[in-house]
Amino acid sequence: MTKMKVIVCAEPGKMQYEERPIPVPGTTDVLLRVKRIGVCGTDLHAFSGRQPYFEYPRILGHEISAEIADPNGYGFRVGEPVTIMPYFYCGHCYSCRIGKTNCCSRLKVAGVHIDGAMQEYFAAPASSIISNTNMSTEDLALIEPFAIGSHALSRAGIKGEEQVLILGAGPIGIGLVLLAISKGIKVILADIDDERLKICRTIPGLQVVNSKKENLQDAVMAITGSDGVSTVFEATGNLAAIESALPLISFGGQIVLVGIQKEAFHFSHPDFHRKETTLMSSRNATHKDFEDVIHFFQNNGLGIFPYISDNISFNDAADWFMDKSISKNKNIKAMIRFDV
């Protein structure tokens, strides 16, 4: 077999199948046979035309579970289950030299800057491969989105039993919730979707606020004894949510922007200054974050939490994206399966 099927986002709102040659791995690559692809908010935003850093046409997909098809001399075995760290960095720029490979000045993210893995075979740098034979096929595809949350927690540097607020009960926000609670952090989760929040209420120790039905600031102050939270993690990328964060934090608190917004946002400088607020972004993840997530899955895991809400055959995935009757925002994590 020399040909494979791929899904191409040809333009905003249009996904189509194409037949292309199976990639020949370059000297620094291995060839993967893709098994699962998690659908990320980045993919949905790219499909709808709301993703910065993006050009069309593009093959999406960066939450990858695969097996080695051709080790290309790199010591892996054929059939070995793997995932990848899909942020391909140069290794030479200043950011890379100081260990911040997640924000390399020449960064190429699979499925964003370059073609991703919504294809039957995918060539990836051998240095990006993460092998773990003790994890399920589904869990391997979940390491990357959880690593986004792990990196945000690392950036925040939370110590002790601080109380934090996570804005957004999407896949990244829920991953942040589960990781934070596993570290003993007190968590409030806010969203406007009752269905998602109903599921999240099953998480022990989590306090949940529907910010469409309740005044979020009043609810946070009631929970924290009027102190506010030490950290707000903004995991929606929604402009109004970003701009709502400042009144919710304590004096000396911080705001961590995990989601991304195309527009400018604004805070009152006097209010920002008065609290000595720290504002930071959290971009992608590092090898350490991937290692921490693997440790989390092996020692905590998802339990019975229904994180994967949709299983989609690769042969149906293009139609799923374009089906306007499906509310993608209701999903927690849609998973594309290549073996159905």
pLDDT at 331 over 80: no
pLDDT digits (tens, 9 = 90+) for 133-159: 789 999 999 999 999 999 999 999 998
pLDDT digits (tens, 9 = 90+) for 163-216: 999 999 999 999 999 999 999 999 999 999 999 999 999 999 999 999 999 999
Q: How far apart are CA 15 and CA 17, in angstroms?
A: 7
pLDDT at 18 over 90: yes
Quickly list H helices, 225-316: 239-243, 269-274, 287-299
Task: Considering the chain, tell me which residue range(s) the CATH 3.40.50.720 domain(s) occupy.
Answer: 148-281
Task: Considering the chain, tell me which residue range(s) the CATH 3.90.180.10 domain(s) occupy.
Answer: 3-131+306-337
Rounded percentage of the chain residues whose pLDDT exceeds 70: 99
Residue 238 neighbours by CB under 8 Å, 6+ apart: 167, 168, 259, 261
Residue 84 neighbours by CB under 8 Å, 6+ apart: 32, 64, 66, 110, 117, 124, 128, 129, 130
Residue closest to 247 by CA, chosen among 275, 266, 222: 275
Q: CATH assignment of 148-281, given 2.40.50.140, 3.30.565.10, 3.40.50.720, 3.30.70.260?
A: 3.40.50.720
Residue closest to 47 by CA, chosen among 59, 35, 30: 59
pLDDT at 314 over 70: yes
Q: CATH assignment of 3-131+306-337, given 3.90.180.10, 3.40.50.720, 3.30.70.360, 3.40.50.2000?
A: 3.90.180.10
Cα four-point dihedral sign 273, 208, 237, 181? positive
